[in-house]
Amino acid sequence: MTDNCVFCEIVAGNIPSAIVAQNDEILAFRDIEPAAPIHILLIPKRHIADSAAGLTREQGALLGKLFELAARIANEFNLNTGWRIVSNVGQGAGQTVFHLHFHLLGGWNENNTGARIDKGTGS
Ligand code: AMP
Ligand code: ZN
């Protein structure tokens, strides 16, 4: 466990979370501040990297399992209109928790154009 890491504390059970799925290596739980009707975080239980920038081919199998679980969750939550996976790298991209994680977002209705990713101004 990495000191002062909120997600390590969640994995350890020291901070409560609304768990939606888990296996030996991965935990999926609801984001406390949802940015979509369904907003779930998927994290490796071990603190293998602070962000996606720290990943190497060594974690290929783990990532495959994580995306497999994400698809299963999307199916279970009936995210039929589509879903998105996001991983912020660095503060400039909005990263606030420095334990590798992926946001699974979905649950928009068919008419919701707000579901499009915000590409910003480019400036
Ligand atoms: P990011 O900003 O990409 O680093 O994502 C971190 C996410 O973790 C944010 O969307 C937060 O709302 C979420 N978060 C922070 N603390 C908790 C917590 N205790 N339980 C669930 N989600 C959390
Ligand atoms: Zn951690």
Domain ranges across the chain: 6-109
pLDDT of residue 12 exceeding 70: yes
pLDDT, averaged across the chain: 93
Say how many C-beta atoms besides its own lie within 10 A of residue 83's C-beta: 21
Among candidate residues 39, 47, 99, 101, the one labeled active-site is 101
pLDDT of residue 118 exceeding 70: no
Distance between Cα 32 and ligand 1 center (Å): 6
Instruction: Measure the CA–CA gap between 45 and 17, rounded to whole angstroms.
Output: 14
Structure tokens of 74? Answer: 């999307």
pLDDT of residue 119 exceeding 70: no
The predicted model scores a pTM of 0.94
Say how many C-beta atoms besides its own lie within 10 A of residue 95's C-beta: 16
Confidence class for position 111, pLDDT limits 50, 70, 90 = confident
Average pLDDT over residues 28-48: 97
Distance between Cα 19 and ligand 2 center (Å): 16
So what's the pLDDT on residue 109? 85
Q: What is the architecture, at CATH level 2, of domain 6-109?
A: 2-Layer Sandwich (3.30)
The string of pLDDT tens digits covering residues 57-95 is 999 999 999 999 999 999 999 999 999 999 999 999 999
pLDDT of residue 55 exceeding 90: yes
So what's the pLDDT on residue 120? 55
